[in-house]
Chain A
Amino acid sequence: MTQATLADRRVHPGAILLRFIQGAPSVVFGLPAALAIFSKRGLGLALLAAAVIGGVMIFMQWLRWRSFRYGVGEREIVIESGILSRNRRSIPFHRVQDVDIERALLARLFGLAKVKIETGAGGKDEGVLDSVTVEEADRLRAAVRAWHVQAPLAAPPDVSGAAEAHTPVAVQPEPHLLFAMDVKRVLVFGLFSFSLVYLASLFALLQTFDRALPFNIYDPARWVGLVEHNLPQRFTVAAAGFVLFLAMLLGVAAGVLRTLARDFNYRLLSEGSRFRRERGLFTRTEAVIAKRRVQLAFLSTGPIRKRFGWGGLFFQTLGAASDASGMQAAAPFATRAEMEPILAEAGPFRLPQLSELTMVSSRHIVRAVATSVGPALAAVLAASTLFTPALLLLLFMPFLGISAALQRRHHRYDLHADLLFITRGVWRQQLWAVPVANAQAVSVSRSWLQRRLGLATVSVDTAGAPATKGARIVDIRRETAEALAAEIAAGRRAYSSGRKSGTDR
């Protein structure tokens, strides 16, 4: 029991070729290509250089493969790596939160999978096995799961060897499908994922290769010239409209393709104490979300999506989230009725009715107007001293006022027993459902303007929250804010004392 786990396994030899192909194009072809362009020597030399570099890289990958060993013990996974300085890392099972299996297109051709052992330490994967056979990946995950089933998660690691004393619990309940998206659903979702970001990145890509292009795409004279040439004296609204339409079309296409690649055959399963999510067209990823690590539920929708009854459900989890936003997708495009069973499985969650929620103070409008119209007005007035027609921009001012009023309509909150609900956003309509028991520090803050208006902001900090968009209620009356903060604190205290008396028995 106390003897060290042997690191006696290597990843699949196919990984040498796999990693070589992944890294090859940039170095093997990029370097000689650059050489060929700059030295003006023949193609033969470039090919020779490519062959030499390729050979060296395969040798390096082989060395890396040879030096990388891992082993699975009774209570830990051990990874040894390093060509010159050996590094031995032990990851105890009780610290493993997720075992993710990722199958990229290339790896699938080889029948391999990348295994990521996630421990939630600073958001980095501590153990990555790149790559092993699919069966080996399943075996690894089964080993971790078997341990978690036998030993309660909360139990501290015991060194005494008492693990055998645990009565083996019945096997995990049969996994059942909670939510799935067919191709049609994914395509509709793609239509709503309109994005100009990919268009922008296309331009960025063009910029990097603009030497290779026969013209400079950033030469405005060229574009203006083109337009003048093709549409003499007709650089009209129609032409501008066409360009805009084309950009929109490309944006929609980019959104659909990206969504299709990411969410193709999306499946969310419930397996006892965890959710399992599988998705992806080219790269098939499998992720595990432990239910007890769910800190809060987050819903996001838009005005048009909402009209059709669609929205996205996400979970904020303790530790590292694989999504950049800090949230784990549970059902990215679903109806309310589809979300409810998922929420019921995740914990003490439910969805509120809009009528249950209270709008923030009407002075929220005053502050929103002051912070949006004020600077805009000053800018327009300053501009009008130089260019009088700028005053026409004042016509847009009422819209700022209207949007401020809309902001308040969409910013609502309610503390309902042990759940705090917050909604916010006109275009991106967000809903947080925070179990009071998961609250960390609770703050009431008052800026200069808020003090003048008698308002305050309540921020509820939770573990794993994104730094900028945590759960906040902006602009409620000071007394209400203080009462609410006290109520949240009291609710949390009641939970923690209840839990303690529960464990004391």
Chain B
Amino acid sequence: MTPLDKGQLWVMRIHAAALSLILLLAGAAAETVLRREIALPPGAILLPLLLAAIWFTFLAPARRFRSWGYRMDSEELQVVRGRWTQWHTVVPLDRIQHLDIAQGPLERSFGVSRLIVHTAGTLHSQVTLPGLTRPIAEAMRDEIRARIRQEAS
């Protein structure tokens, strides 16, 4: 399995950091309000939140990043994902209905993009593969497109 591009790790970290910051601010606000009402030792809310935020920002993204992987050959696209429940999905290339390449502003600044393939199924009608460099994503897209066209003819 090919790991994702390193840029995706930074995307994940910054995402997690932003979320942690919001969480911490909300926690700080809740604590100041609550401490006026009831006797609460200082940091009763903030401290656990801080620990969670540290884990969430500095430890979790790397583990999450490592859980991703993909492999594409002439027949199939395989995607491995998930830490808690691990998924290994095999998408036959000739079953792909259409596909997108998506790139958010954060992803653009780290030079990665997402490949999203759609099938006619229901459970995995949409399989997203993040953390591909733009050239790789485009190469994969072109290959799948050629395959779909060949199938249609």
On A, residues with C-beta under 8 Å from B are 318, 439-448, 451, 459, 461-467, 470, 485, 489, 492-493, 496, 500
- The interface bits of chain B over 124-148 (1 if a CB of A lies within 8 angstroms of the residue's CB, else 0) are 1101000000000000000000000
Bound together, the chains give a CA A442 to CA B120 distance in angstroms of 13
For the complex of A and B, 4 pairs with smallest distance between CB atoms: A461-B121, A440-B121, A463-B120, A441-B124
Bound together, the chains give a CA A467 to CA B124 distance in angstroms of 10
Residues on the A chain within 8 Å of B95, using CB: 440-441
Bound together, the chains give a CA A212 to CA B55 distance in angstroms of 59
Q: Which of B86, B92, B125 contacts A445 (CB 8 A)?
A: B86
Given contacts A461-B119, A461-B124, A465-B123, contact A441 B91 (CB under 8 A): yes
Bound together, the chains give a CA A461 to CA B92 distance in angstroms of 11
Nearest CB in chain B: distance from A251 CB, A: 32
Given contacts A459-B123, A461-B124, contact A445 B90 (CB under 8 A): no
Q: Which of A445, A451, A464, A492 contacts B122 (CB 8 A)?
A: A464
Cβ contact within 8 Å between B94 and A443: no
Q: B76 near A: Cβ within 8 Å?
A: yes
Nearest CB in chain A: distance from B99 CB, A: 13
- Closest B residue to A448 by CB, please name it: B84
Nearest CB in chain A: distance from B130 CB, A: 17
Cβ contact within 8 Å between A467 and B122: yes
Given contacts A440-B95, A441-B124, A465-B121, contact A451 B86 (CB under 8 A): yes
- Closest B residue to A319 by CB, please name it: B120
Cβ contact within 8 Å between B119 and A442: no
Bound together, the chains give a CA A451 to CA B85 distance in angstroms of 9
- Closest A residue to B76 by CB, please name it: A489
Bound together, the chains give a CA A489 to CA B121 distance in angstroms of 15
Bound together, the chains give a CA A155 to CA B134 distance in angstroms of 37
Cβ contact within 8 Å between A444 and B88: yes
Cβ contact within 8 Å between A447 and B90: no
Bound together, the chains give a CA A42 to CA B120 distance in angstroms of 61
Cβ contact within 8 Å between B122 and A447: no
Residues on the B chain within 8 Å of A440, using CB: 91-92, 95, 119-121, 124-125
Cβ contact within 8 Å between B87 and A445: yes
Q: B32 near A: Cβ within 8 Å?
A: no
Residues on the A chain within 8 Å of B94, using CB: 496
Nearest CB in chain B: distance from A465 CB, A: 4
Sampled A-B contacts (24; CB under 8 Å): A440-B119, A440-B125, A441-B89, A441-B91, A441-B123, A441-B124, A442-B90, A443-B87, A443-B88, A443-B89, A444-B88, A445-B82, A459-B123, A461-B121, A461-B124, A461-B125, A462-B121, A464-B120, A467-B122, A470-B123, A485-B90, A489-B76, A489-B90, A500-B151
Q: B75 near A: Cβ within 8 Å?
A: yes
- The interface bits of chain B over 68-103 (1 if a CB of A lies within 8 angstroms of the residue's CB, else 0) are 000000011000001011111111101100000000
Residues on the A chain within 8 Å of B82, using CB: 445
- Closest A residue to B87 by CB, please name it: A445
Residues on the B chain within 8 Å of A444, using CB: 87-88
Bound together, the chains give a CA A459 to CA B90 distance in angstroms of 10
Residues on the A chain within 8 Å of B75, using CB: 489, 493
Given contacts A445-B86, A493-B75, contact A465 B122 (CB under 8 A): yes
Nearest CB in chain A: distance from B110 CB, A: 28
Bound together, the chains give a CA A440 to CA B122 distance in angstroms of 9
Residues on the A chain within 8 Å of B85, using CB: 445-448
Nearest CB in chain A: distance from B149 CB, A: 13
